[in-house]
Every structure is written in structure tokens, then in C-alpha cells.
Structure 1
Amino acid sequence: MQPLPIDPLLPEIAEALRRGPSLVIEAPPGAGKTTRVPRALLEAGLAGAGEVVVLEPRRLAARMAARRVAEELGERPGETAGYQVRFEEVAGPRTRLRFVTEGLLTRRLLSDPGLPGVAAVLLDEFHERHLHGDLALALLRRLQRTARPELRLVAMSATLDAAPVARFLGAPSLRSEGRMFPVEVEYLSPAEAARPDVRLEQLVASAVRKAVSAAPAGDVLVFLPGAAEIRRAREALAPLAQSAGLDLVPLHGDLAPEEQDRAVRPGPRRKVILSTNVAETSVTIPGVTAVIDSGLARVASHSPWSGLPTLEVKKVSRASAAQRAGRAGRTGPGRAVRLYTRHDHDGRPEFDLPEIAREDLSEAVLSLASFGLAARELGAGPEAGGEGAFAWFEPPPPAALEAAVGLLRQLGALDAEGRITEPGRRMLRFPLHPRLARLVLEADARGAGQEGALLAAILGERDLRERSPFGAGGRLDTPTGPSDLLELAHLFHQASDGGGPSPERCRRLGLSPGAAASVGRSFRQLCRLVRTRGDDEGALLAATLAAYPDRVGRRRAPGSDEVVLVGGGSARLDEASVVREAPLLVAVDAGERRGARPAPGARGGPVVRLASAASEELLLDLFAGDLRYDEEVAWNAAGERVEARERLLYRDLVLEEKRLARPDPARAAAVLARAAQERGPRAFAAEGALDRLLARLDFAARHAPAAGLAAPSEADLAAALAGLCEGRTSFAELREAGLEEAVLAALPGRARAALQELAPERIRLPSGRALEVRYEAAGKPPWVESRLQDFFGLARGPALAGGRVPLTLHLLAPNHRAVQVTSDLAGFWERHYPAIRRELSRRYPRHAWPEDPLTASPPAPRPPRGAPGR
């Protein structure tokens, strides 16, 4: 057996685990921790008669590690060393070392929380900080502190600082220095990186050509984001492979085990291994001397719309770049070419953000709830203590935890207290996101479990469509149907024969053969968990609605592609959707439009890529408590009136509405008052009338403080306006209601009488003419205006406030222009009238201008225009 750098540390590891149940091991890539440490525990007798379970972040790593250990033991996989990944288990009654993916251990803990038969659990590559890894560590630590104190836990990491994990476990840490050969790292120049016409596969082909020419031997490992990029790079490298005698071999998680073996085992010819990031942290691939790194990876993410898992192409962190480059120096000096600039590298984060800080938590929360933990108990950090206390190594963000609990309550998986319900427990039987588990559960209860499982498989795997299956992109090619999911299920069935989806049929129907194969595997697994086999369309529509109660939408108008959504906001229905007629629908998947920028004038916002028809009957069946009738009393700004509508709502989404002839009086008054206050009281009186009234009141209050008068404040005016709104529904009615009279009516009776006495609205001259008194802002005297002749016979001008305040008189000529403004009429007659009389006599000879105005009689008041005698 080939010696590895971790070997000298193995006795110390075994001794540390004899002294205590937990340990943290730091070892760089290539040290051998994945294969040698689990076997050392077994051989040291630390597992007793139980199993050693090793958690791996990826299926490929689990398979490769189990095969490497079995090979070193001289056995076949499935004997002493075996593995278990999704859709595949290679293990038997003799298996003592079991390599599993992280999610499978979580599901095992759910079905058997005490982990009987498991003596030790090793969390490999813990620095990757997958959500399932964090959840497994927290659950295992909780188990160790309660029912299984003897359970041995080992966290192994290549790059993560061991101290925080060691503190969390209360464990020592050991470090292996490993063995690394020097690796020469090269970068693209800024000029090369800036060329927009060079595609990734062309950069890969150029870098591989240089790597092959620079060294006479050694395999080349190329890191690419996904299978599509691998396919394009393989096509670009085909001429070089033929001329240089190279084998081009892909390596990714969806390949069959024998194809993965071909990539990782030595071959007869020099190899170029085109791999996703599965090769970043798995067992060493012998013979690799050069690494070409695209700097990209498809990393786990989730759809903000549905919470379902997705993969996004992102730049890798500096730690991941170091891991990739290190693959070239495992067995000898190597070379790494990064297809990006040094400036780009140095600007990247040191580590990837842990999934617990960025992922949807609903599946994890539901799993924890099954252990009897309520929602309020799930946010604790590593300092949480006490018998049976639950604590995360690193607690999730409170907002993400709250969102997960909220969704699970809507799905019926948690009750109001945040504890798991019976449907929630049944949902945990399915290895699915809670939305999809709810879909399958509802379909199964309605007799369509098998088809519900297919819909869940379609939604849970990557996009089934390689191109639009509904035609060449135009509406004319798009069929009309009740659900895009049902349409995809129909296409899947068309692509399948007795043995599953046919690649040729898939391509003909516009489906991805790889995605269809993944859907088929998931479908077969889920079919084993359901009871019913029907395919009732109504049952499937109901099941889809049950999984997406928060994504119900109403078409804005018949035939429109605009959809108004529960919770506010709107979206547009993709033109390839078959749901073209249903007025109500479920927006199953939505996002920003991908591809080219929208044309000028095009509408933005989310595009609903997958929809399913809904109906009021289905909403009543599934969510009767979320349906309600109410009367909406709202303001019509254009018509300046209150209007009432009776509405049927699902949560806050209006499903139906009709206008009512007369709104509820109290609510109408409140709505009218709000609108009126926004406009302001002065809009509901004649121009300037309110300010003149305020000035009049202010004048009276200043000249007779004992009368108890005071000018009303703006708040008093607002109150008077609000009072006028009672029994009214429009601005027009308010304007006719008389706001000035309402302000006066609010005064006590004595105050109103005092006001009329001290500051009347009008005064009457001896001639019988009544004049309006004009009151202005504080400090300005009140005034009246009339023809000069109207004041003949008066020795003094009229006064207010009991005769104490003379009025200012605007004395008008026959042309209604003031010839004098005075508050001293006697002085005017004596000093100014003689001169003014001469001028007026000359200009208006037909009018009488007596020499002595004190003895002259004023002209009779003119009757109103149109009165008898005119």
C-alpha cells in the first residue's frame, strides 16, 4: 500500500479518540485523510462492532473513496468498504466503512434518531460548509450530548480554521502537514481576458495545447462549471486530441460509475480530464501534472421565487482556486493555468459563503421540527447549552429562518406554535424540498400519486427543456392547456420507452437527455413511496396549488399576459406557457427574463416560466380559511368621490369584485375625510373665505378678550372639515356643505353673538346700503368700500368693536376706483373733499357733487340687476 502523508499521524488520531469522543483533523489536499483515517479507526478497534460512516459533500467523492479503500484492502466495493448515494447503494452485511453523501445521513437520523449500529461519524471536507453538513454536525453533536455520549465525531478539513469547530465539539485538533510538490501558477494577461470574441472553450483548447507541449507526460485536469461547458470544450479539443493521441474524458456527478472510473484511473494514453468541481476535493487523481482552471463553478443556490434548489455559475473563491491548483502537485511538480487575471483572483473572497447563510432553510427546519424542536428553538449559536439543547455550529440568519417557518406553516407542515404536524411528518418521507413533498402528498391523497411524483421530479431536477418544447418560440406554435407541468410530464412520457427516456426522442422533443435521465431516476425512487397510480388532471392541479399557496395570481384581463400576484406585485406570463386562458393560475417558477436585453419599451419585471391553472373552487377546497368577502371603500381620485366594491379575496389578491350603489356611511366618511385633508380645508370654501373668517375672529378676540373668542387653529379647521364628511361621499357635496358655517357653528352661542356684535360681516349705511366688511391678517384694519356719495350726510365713518375701531373706508369714484382711503371721514370732508369735488364734477358732470356733503342726502341704493324697475 502506497504511504501517504497522513499515515504518521494515524496512531495519534486513534489515541485522541480513545481519550475523548470528538476530534478535528486538519490536513491539506492529497494527505490521504479521506481513505486512511476511517480505516485507522476501524483497525484500532474504535468502532467495536459498529460502522464508521464518512460524510462526503459529493456522490463522486463517496464512490471514489469507497473504491480506493476497497482496492487497498484487496476487496470489491460493498464488502468492508461500501458507499451509499442517491439512487445507488453498494454495501452489504459485512460493510463496516460506509461513505455517504451528507443529505443521506440527515435522512437516516430522521428515520432512526439514535443511529443504532453507527460507532463513529467522520465529516470529510467540512470546510465546504454545505447546509446538510452543518445540519448533520449540529444533529450529531446534539445526539452525542444526549443519548449517545460514546458516539465518536471527527470533523476533517483541508482549509478551514480548525479552532472554531474544535470549540464547538469541545475537542482537540490535530494537523498533518501533508506533502505538496511545487506548482507553477500562470494567469491570463489583462489583454487576453478583455477579448470579447474568445469563448471559454477556445481558452481551454489554447491552454491545453500549451500544457501538452510544455511537458512530455502527465495528464491534464480541466475545471469547468458544468456538463454543457464540458461538452463544448470536448468539441474544441477534438482536433488536438486526434493529432496528439490524447484521451478526452469527462468527469461529473451524473456520469455512470464506469465512466467516472475511466476518468480517475490510469489509462493507456495521456488524458485530458474535463471535470466539474467534483474533482476539487475528492480522492487524488493520479498522474495529473497540469491543471487548467476556468475559475468558475456551478454552485448550489435556490430560486428566490420558489425556494427550490438551483445551480448558478459563479466565480470560485481563492481557497477553491488553491485547491484546484494543488491537484497538479499531488505526485510531483506541476503547473496550473488560471483562465482569468491575477487582479481578478486577488479580488475574490477568501472562502465561499457557507450555505447556511445563503440558502433556503425550509427543508432543514422541517427536519429539525421532527425531533420535537419548535421554531423558536432553532436559532441558537454554539454557546447554547443544557441537556438536550440544540445549537448550530454557526446559526442561520434570523430572516431566513423566519421565512422558512412561514413557508412551512403555509404548507401545513408546522402549526401556529412552529411544531411539526402530521402532514409535515408524512412530507419527510420524501427526499424532496417541502414544496415538492407537499405536492406529492396531495396528489397521492387524491389518487394521482405516481403522476404527482413525476411533477415533483421534473421540478426538483434541472430544467428538462433543452429548448422550448412548445415550438420555435412563437405563440402560434404553443398549445393551450391547463398546466406547463402537465405539458412537461406529457413530453417526458412521449420521450420514454419501457427503459426510460430515450436520448433520441428527447432531442426530437427539445428535451435534455441528461436532465430527462435525472428526472427518470428521481421519478422511479419517488414512485416507491406513493400509494396511488392515477393521473387525474384535477388532482394534479390541486396538488400544484397545495405546494404553492403563496404564488397564486390573477390575470389582469382576459387574454392578458400580465398577472397580479398574492402579496402584491405582478409578473408576465412567458409566451411559451400553455396556460393561456385560465383567469387564475399558480406561478410555479418565475425569474428575470434570460438572454438578450429586452427591446426598448418592453416591460420589465419577473417572467412566469412555469404556470398551472387554479380556480376559486380549488382555493375553497384547499385554503377556505384564506378566502374572505369584504367591502372595499376607496377613493376615486379622478371622480373626486368615495366608491364601494364588494370583493372576494384570497389573502390579499382580489378574485372578484362588484361596485355597490352606496358605501357604508362610517367608512365612506373616513375615506372622504382622508382625501379632503390631503387637499386641505381651503379647497372647500370660496377663495379666501376661510382666511377672512379667521381674520375676523382674530380681530374680535384681540379687541374683546373677555368674550372668549379665539381664531381656530388648522387642527380646528381639519376637525370641522372631518365633521362635514359625515353622510357625504364626494368633494362636490363637501363644497356645498358650507365649511365657514361649520367653523362658526363650532363656537359657543355667547361667542357667536359676541362675534356678530364686535365684528359683523356687514354694516348698513343710513342710505340703506349694506357693505361687506373685509377682515385681513392680524395687524391690518378692517375695511369697506363704496361710492363716495353713499357717505353723504355722515359726519363720522362707521366703527367696529363697540365703536372703538373705525373702519378704513375705500371711497370710490363712479368708475369704482378709489379716490381716497381713510379712517377719518370728518377730516376727509374738511381737508380733501373740496379738491376732489372739483375734479369729480369735471369728470362726472351728470352726478351731483354738493358743496356741503354733511347736509347732502346719499343717492338711493340701486336695485339688483334684473329687478323690477330696471
Structure 2
Amino acid sequence: MPHSFRLPPLPDLPIVAALPALREALATHPRVVLEAPPGAGKTTVVPLELLAAAWRAPEQKILVLEPRQLAARAAAARLAQLLGEPVGRTVGYRVRLDSQVSAATRIEVITEGILTRMLQDDPALEDVACVVFDEFHERSLNADLGLALALDAQAVLRPELRILLMSATLEAQRLGQWLPAPVVSSAGFLFPIDTHYLDPRRAGALPTKPSERLAELVPAQVRAALAAHPGDVLVFLPGVADLQRIDRKLGDSLPPATDLHLLHGELPLEAQQAALRPAAAGRRKVILATSIAETSLTIEGVRVVIDGGFARVPRFVARTGFTTLETVPVAQAAADQRRGRAGRLAPGTCYRLWTEAEHYQLPAHRPPEIHTADLSGLVLELALWGTHDPSSLRWLDAPPAAAVAQARELLLRLGALEIKNDKLKVKNELLDSTTTDNQLIFNSEFLIFNSTAHGRQLAKLGLPPRLGHLVVRGTALGHGAAATALAALLAERDLLRWATPHDPRPLPPDLRLRLEALASGRPPLAGLALHHATLQRVRDVARHLHGRLGQARTTTADAAVLTQAPVGLLAALAYPDRLAQREAPDRLRLVTGQRVSLRTEDVDPQARFFAVAYLAGTAAAPRATLAAPIDLEELEAGFAEQISTTEEVRYDATAQRVVGRRVRRLGALLLAESVIGQPDAALVAQALTSYLQESGLGKLNWTAGARQLQQRLAFLHQLQSDAQWPAFDDEALLADLPAWLGPHLAGLKSLDQVQRLDLTEPLLARLPGGWAQRQELDRLAPAALEVPSGSHITLDYSDPAAPVLAVKLQELFGLTETPAVAAGRVPLLLHLLSPGGRPAQVTRDLRSFWEKGYFEVRKDLKGKYPRHPWPDKPMEHIPTRLTKRRLGTS
């Protein structure tokens, strides 16, 4: 062994039996998967085992990743205890805003996001021997990103770097095949756990809303569990509001000598540690916890778990760009994790507040966060890593393309990314055999998205890109203290609440109230109260951010600095896609065009424009929950590059004429407008065309000649549908309206003028063949046909499959062949009319009519029209449109 570290006596945990196999696997493979169910002791034992490994140089560290700060601190404390040392010597931890490490530290327990920062600073991780991904089954976004970067570093820079994935419930064989890596398995629980499900009859009578269901079930179940079982009780609830609701309902109804604790990530460290410490002698504990207590924590004394069956998860909707928290049923794997808390130190009991039948309908695993999260931070980190195409890295589940595209769009808008090459340039570089630039990495679209200096600055702040942009740009504008304070507020939970616990009203949405409360430390309005722990957390984060920027210390309690800052402008820096304009007292229109609800009188009843920070509700009916007014002057100055001035000309149906205005817009927001006296003629024609496309061709002057011309052209298209004879039906004409009618609208301003326009020439001008094709039209589909009597009869092309010649039968005497069009290819459908103009016969075979049908018609009509000729031999008679007297016959 190249160093003197010796393992301390290890606790008697199931994982110990798997250590020889784990040692052998890590000695011969750079990647290993360790499958260890809850209670096996992997977090407690494995890091110490790795510290003694022969492949670790004495100066090298073991990094242990935990999904939450509470778990990281607790794991470090337990490992240091086994070594008999304080935290910060051999074992330390590093979390956001807090660390306990020293030069002697060789095991660093860190939260997952910190690994990304370490890799960006030192891609080779030269002083690290092994990276341990604990609780990898949770599949957080940071864990997936950290693993992708670590695998890339291992493949390119550090093949000897060990990567160990430890998981309680993930499908280990799938993970082992994907890496690839050997899979080492450990035994499960030390102690049996008795599991109880909800009675189906009881379940059927419960409310369906999770908060109401839990409020009815949990207090009674807690009291029953305390009466029936020894030890402490751990209750899993979806969110902080549920913890507080159950806390109020339990109130003073717990048995004597029973302490009630809340456990969630927003509590002060002291309150978290109090929930984790064993109960004092002679006392018991009830811990109401969120999913923070699912993994990595052994809460001594817990013998009973009550699982509410729900979790709060973020959902990012790529279509809208909104992230909301949803309460969803827990996955089976997470339920097993929760159940395992009851059997860590002794036999236990688990009460699941759902039926056994419902349990088997739960999803096996929760979806990985990479499928449901905003990926702007991930895409920025990939750009910093030099990866322009996410598919070039190895992912257990690849980032969704739509979310990646939306993240890039946001980062480009924030100035954190830039497009290095366009498609043509990059394609030429690909074809150039002399290109040797190793920095050119191409994606399928031949675009390179590089991080900018601004993007690199954002990443170092450890904030989501939106909030990092707010801090950096806000500081550059001279509002550093307010920018860091606002970013801290938006990064944490709302510090305001109603003073009356059961008040159902939504909190005031005015973002300025939060800065006022932060500055003064007092509720800004009567009836409101403060979350003091959140207040302190926000102040700590703001001070940390101010320090990271290298700014002189400015107290966030300086009311003049915070309350006089342009809050709307600062919020808009973080959420430029959520700038909004008042449309109604309870509705805003976002710069994207989407509408959201907001009672503007709750923010500023006089304001026209707002910056929306938070949205809740659903994608179909979002509502603004945090917003601030922003002045027009601030919009003009802060977003000048995105503001456009254009002439908008449209047809006003009320005035029945075209009107024009000059408008300034920021996206969908109308900043200013003025009337144009003489709009551009091309825009006028375009406005008339747009109106006609919306209203339909019926608004045009369709004379009989124009309609017949359309029908003749439609006939030829059906006969010979190629480019020479394009479609002329209403749908085709409407779609192509600007091309064929637009040029003829020049100089017109009203619908009345348009309706006096003869459509014949515009329709003919649509033919591609010019004058020659017009002559061909008259030859193939003539408007009228001369019949034997000398009359010119207009043809009816309304049915392009059967053009009609409607003519008095006497005018066709002597004609034996049926007239045809299309150069004789299409015989006309003859409507043979009586002298009174009524149809007497319909035929396509004139000769057959004269030979047979004529005599039946003559028998019926001769008595009615005795003055007209009815010869015995119609094929030999003189064709006429006259009576017998006028013909000079009897």
C-alpha cells in the first residue's frame, strides 16, 4: 500500500460482506456499479474503504457526491465520527455557501453541482482518485451532467480515474451494460419491516386532492402509530406547505414527552440537525419530512415510517418555457427508499397511505430530471466544456432536443452563447482537407455554439443562467446590491407569508415588497409575516454573490439601496421573455404573445408594463405570482436592440378602407403608435390582400364572364394538371392571391374600389405562358361555340368533368356529330332545349338522339310549340332559331 491509511473498525452493516468484490472490481476496472439496497451502509463504509485502496496516491482525494446539502453534511459527520476525528480533517464537506475542508482532507463529500465546477476548473481532476456518485438512482440533472463530464475526462485525460456509481434501486444491470462496468451487489435491510396499506373502503371516502387527503389521514395515523409502536416516527409529505399544515393539525395533540420536528432543505442548519439527532432520554420524536429524508440519512431512533405517497417535482414545459412544481404520486422505487428508513437500526413498521392495488399501479421509477427540467444551465456548462453537440457525450438518457434548443435560444438572448459559424462557412471548412483546428466541433446543423466571456462569468456564480445574468448585468448598471439581493430572493423560497396560518388568499405578487422586507427585516404590509429562516438564507446568498463579484460589502439592510432600485428592470434582465403589457385589469400579454393572469392593481394599477418573475398554474392557464412594474423609458433603454419600428397597414372593416400606423414594438408588446397619413402603396395593397384572404373570394367582383373564365381554366387544369395549367379553384386562388391580384390593387384604398375591379385580366395574367397561352385557352376551352343556326352559345364549365352546351334543339338540325372541346378530346354534354328554353333531352350522342330520342321529344312538344319546325328528318333540315312563319314554311 503506497500510503499509511488504515481502516478503522467498520460497523456491522451488510455492505461489509460486499467489500472484497468491490475491492477486486475497482482494482481492475476504472468504472464500477455498486447496487446496495437501503440500510446496507454504502454511504457510511465505502468511502473509507476507497481511502485505503492501493490505486489511490496519498495526496489524492475521494469525492463523494450527495444529492442534497443535508445528506452531504450528515455523511461527512458520520464518516469523521468513525475515524474519531472532527469534520474538516480527513473527512470534509463542500456545499453551496458552506464548507469544512483542510489541506489534510482526503474524503470530500460534496453536492452534485460542485463536481461540475471542479471539472470545469480542472478537467483532469489531477488530485482525485475516485468520484463516487452516491444515490445515483435519483437521477438528478447535476448527477447526469457530472457523470457525462467525468466519463469524458476519464476517456480523454485520466483513464486511471475511478468512477463508482452507488445506487439503491436503479436497474444496476442496465447501468453496468451501458458504462460498461462490473456490477457488485450487496445485501439489503438489516431488520424486517412490517408494511401496512390503506384500507380500500377508507380510501374510497377520501378527497382526491393530495393536500386535503393528507390533512385528513396523516394526523390520525401519527397518533395511532405512537400508541401502537415504540421508537420515533418519520412522516413523508410532498412539500413544505404540507409539513406546516400537518404541524398545525397535530398541534398539542401529541402524547407527553413527544417532540415534533420539521425537516426540509430550507430550514436553518441548526433546525435540520435537531431533527436528525437522537431524541433525549425518555422522549420521542415525530419528524415531518419532505423527500430530503429518502436517502443517505440514518435518523437514529426511527422505527415507524408513514408515507403520504406523494412528491413535489419540477416540470419544465419547453413549449412555454415555464417551470412549475407538481404534486405527483411517488414512484415504487422512492417508496421502497422511504420504507427502508424504518429498518435501519431495528425492526420497523411502514404505513403507506394508499391501497395495495394502487401501489402496483405506481410507476417503477421517477423520470430522470434531464427529461423534465430547464436545460439552460446544462447547455451552458456543455459550451464551457467545449461540447457543442450534447450527443458527443455519453448519457444514460440524452437531453431532449426541444429543451436543448430552447435553452440555446435563451442563452443566446442572454449573451451567454454566441454562434461561431454559419452553415455555409462550416460546411466549406468540413470540405477543406487542410482544416486542423481541433476546436471545431460540428453538430448535425453545422452550427457551433460557443460560450462568451459573459457566459463564463455566469457559470462561476453557481446560479441558474437567468439569475446569473441579472447579477452581472445589474451590477454593470450600478445596482449591484439590489441585483444580488433580488437574485437571492428569486433563488430561494418566498420569504413572505400571511400572519394568519389558514389564510387562503394568494400572497401579494409585488416583487418590490420582498426587497422591502429584506431591507427592513419587517413585514412590508399589515397581515403579512416573514419566514425568518428564509430571510437569513437570502441575506447569506446575497452576501456570497456580492463577494463572488469582488464588490465592496454593501449591507442588504440598506433600505435606500434596495427599495429605490429599478426592480422591474432588474427582474426583466433575468426574464426578458416574460416582459408583459397590461391588456385588462386582470390580464397581461407577454412579449412572446402568451397571455397570463395578474391582478395588476395588486402591483401597480397605473403601470402599463411589467416584468414577470414567477409563473404558476398550468401551461394553458398560467398566472403571474411575482411581478414588478417597469417604465417605458427603462424598456427603451434596456432592450433597445430588440425594439423595432415598423409601418403597419391594415384594412379597417368598420371604416371600409385601409388605415396605416407607425408602431414601436418589443416582441408582442406595443410601445407606441402614430397614424400614417399616406401609407406606402405596397403596404396598402398588402393590407387589402390580407383582408381578402381572411374574408374570402366572395368579396371580389365575380361577373359571369370572370367566373366562367375561372371555370374554363379549372377545366384545363383537370384535363392536364401540370405547370402549364395550374389550379384555379377557389382554394388555390386564395392561397396565391398576393401574386395574381396584388399587382392590380396598386392605388386602391377601399373595398369599394376593389369590387369595381374586373377580374378577367388578373386571372389571365396568372397563366405562365403569356399571350400564346391565352390563345391556346380560347382554342381548347372556348367561352362560346357557334352552332349550325349561326348562334354563338356560351359554354358552361361549372363541372370541369362535363362542360355543357345548352342550346335549342332546332338550332342543331343537320348536325350529326356531338360538338367537342379540348381539340376534340372532350365531347360536350348537350342540354337540348325546347323552344321555350326548357331542357328536353340531355345527351353526349347527338346522332343517336336524332335517330331515336328526337321522335319521343317531338311527340311531347309538337303540340305545345306548333309554330316551330318539327321535321321528320332532323339531320337533313335547315338549322334555325326561328318559327315556321319566319322561315317561310307552313
Query: Which range, TM-score by smaller chain?
Result: 0.7 to 0.9
Distance 1:525 1:122, change over 3 A: same
**Kept after mapping to 1: 8 A contact 2:76/2:87:** yes
- 1:320 partnered with 2:334: yes
Aligned to 1:526: 545
Q: Tell me which of 227, 233, 239 is aligned to 2:246.
A: 233
- 1:273 partnered with 2:287: yes
- 1:432 partnered with 2:457: no
SS at match of 1:78: coil
SS at match of 2:418: coil
Identity %: 37
**Kept after mapping to 2: 8 A contact 1:446/1:539:** no
Aligned to 1:585: 610
Alignment of 1:107-122 (within 5 A): 107-122=117-132
Structure 1: distance between partners of 2:713 and 2:66: 86
- 1:492 partnered with 2:535: no
Q: Deviations over 1:108-133 (max 9, x none)?
A: 33334333432221110001100111
After TM superposition, the score normalised by the length of structure 2 is 0.75
Aligned to 2:534: 515
Alignment of 1:667-746 (within 5 A): 667-673=683-689, 675-676=691-692, 684-685=700-701, 688=704, 690=706, 724-739=744-759
Aligned to 2:39: 30
Alpha-carbon distance, 1:3 to partner = 1.2
Alpha-carbon distance, 1:55 to partner = 0.4
Distance 1:747 1:720, change over 3 A: farther
Structure 1: distance between partners of 2:670 and 2:528: 38
Alpha-carbon distance, 1:674 to partner = 5.4
SS at match of 2:296: coil
Distance 1:611 1:807, change over 3 A: same
Q: Tell me which of 100, 123, 141 is aligned to 2:110.
A: 100
- 1:627 partnered with 2:639: no
**Kept after mapping to 2: 8 A contact 1:436/1:547:** yes
- 1:339 partnered with 2:320: no
Alpha-carbon distance, 1:663 to partner = 3.7
- 1:552 partnered with 2:602: no
Alpha-carbon distance, 1:438 to partner = 0.4
Distance 1:811 1:343, change over 3 A: closer
Q: Tell me which of 450, 453, 458 is aligned to 1:422.
A: 453
**Kept after mapping to 2: 8 A contact 1:205/1:237:** yes
Structure 2: distance between partners of 1:290 and 1:297: 19
Aligned to 1:294: 308
- 1:250 partnered with 2:262: yes
Alpha-carbon distance, 1:228 to partner = 3.3
Aligned to 1:16: 25
Aligned to 1:867: none
**Kept after mapping to 1: 8 A contact 2:119/2:125:** yes
**Kept after mapping to 1: 8 A contact 2:581/2:610:** yes
Alpha-carbon distance, 1:830 to partner = 13
Bigger mean CA deviation after superposition, 47-56 or 31-40: 47-56
Letter in 1 for 2:745: C
Distance 1:506 1:191, change over 3 A: farther
Q: Deviations over 1:757-800 (max 9, x none)?
A: 99699xxx9xxxxx99887675454589xxxxxxxxxxxxxxxx
Aligned to 2:625: 609
Alignment of 1:299-378 (within 5 A): 299-302=313-316, 311-374=325-388, 377-378=389-390
Aligned to 2:431: none
Q: Tell me which of 572, 576, 592 is aligned to 2:597.
A: 572
Aligned to 2:84: 74
Bigger mean CA deviation after superposition, 192-201 or 690-699: 690-699
Alignment of 1:378-457 (within 5 A): 378-380=390-392, 390-416=393-419, 417-457=448-488
Alpha-carbon distance, 1:653 to partner = 3.9
Letter in 1 for 2:98: E
Distance 1:310 1:455, change over 3 A: farther
Aligned to 1:705: none
- 1:51 partnered with 2:67: no
Alpha-carbon distance, 1:41 to partner = 1.2
Distance 1:571 1:279, change over 3 A: closer
After TM superposition, the score normalised by the length of structure 1 is 0.77
Structure 2: tracts of 5 or more residues without a match: 1-8, 420-447, 555-560, 716-724, 798-802, 810-818, 820-829, 838-856, 869-883
Distance 1:311 1:117, change over 3 A: farther
Structure 2: distance between partners of 1:402 and 1:751: 53
- 1:458 partnered with 2:489: yes
Distance 1:677 1:626, change over 3 A: closer
Letter in 1 for 2:71: A
Letter in 1 for 2:277: R
Aligned to 2:95: 85
Bigger mean CA deviation after superposition, 398-407 or 674-683: 674-683
Alpha-carbon distance, 1:806 to partner = 14
Bigger mean CA deviation after superposition, 349-358 or 629-638: 629-638
Q: CA RMSD in A?
A: 4.6
Alpha-carbon distance, 1:660 to partner = 2.8
Q: Give the structure with higher Rg (CA).
A: 1
Letter in 1 for 2:310: L
Structure 1: distance between partners of 2:742 and 2:15: 83
Q: Deviations over 1:106-158 (max 9, x none)?
A: 22333343334322211100011001111111111112222222322211111
- 1:657 partnered with 2:673: yes
Aligned to 1:816: none
Structure 1: distance between partners of 2:121 and 2:601: 42
Q: Tell me which of 135, 147, 168 is aligned to 1:125.
A: 135
**Kept after mapping to 2: 8 A contact 1:25/1:174:** yes
Distance 1:326 1:753, change over 3 A: closer
Structure 2: distance between partners of 1:554 and 1:348: 43
Structure 2: distance between partners of 1:201 and 1:536: 39
SS at match of 1:370: helix
Structure 1: distance between partners of 2:547 and 2:511: 21
Distance 1:284 1:569, change over 3 A: closer
Alignment of 1:173-252 (within 5 A): 173-196=183-206, 200-215=214-229, 217-243=230-256, 245-252=257-264
Distance 1:669 1:78, change over 3 A: same
Bigger mean CA deviation after superposition, 713-722 or 282-291: 713-722
Alpha-carbon distance, 1:461 to partner = 0.9
Q: Deviations over 1:300-358 (max 9, x none)?
A: 44587996876543221011111111222223332211112223222110000000111
Q: Deviations over 1:44-66 (max 9, x none)?
A: 34352222111001112111111
Alpha-carbon distance, 1:487 to partner = 3.0
Structure 2: distance between partners of 1:429 and 1:561: 39
Structure 2: distance between partners of 1:10 and 1:110: 32
Q: Deviations over 1:155-195 (max 9, x none)?
A: 11111122343344443221112344322211112332233
Letter in 2 for 1:410: R
Structure 2: distance between partners of 1:214 and 1:754: 101
Structure 2: distance between partners of 1:34 and 1:97: 12
Alpha-carbon distance, 1:750 to partner = 8.6
Alpha-carbon distance, 1:685 to partner = 3.8
Q: Deviations over 1:51-95 (max 9, x none)?
A: 211100111211111111122122222222222222222222322
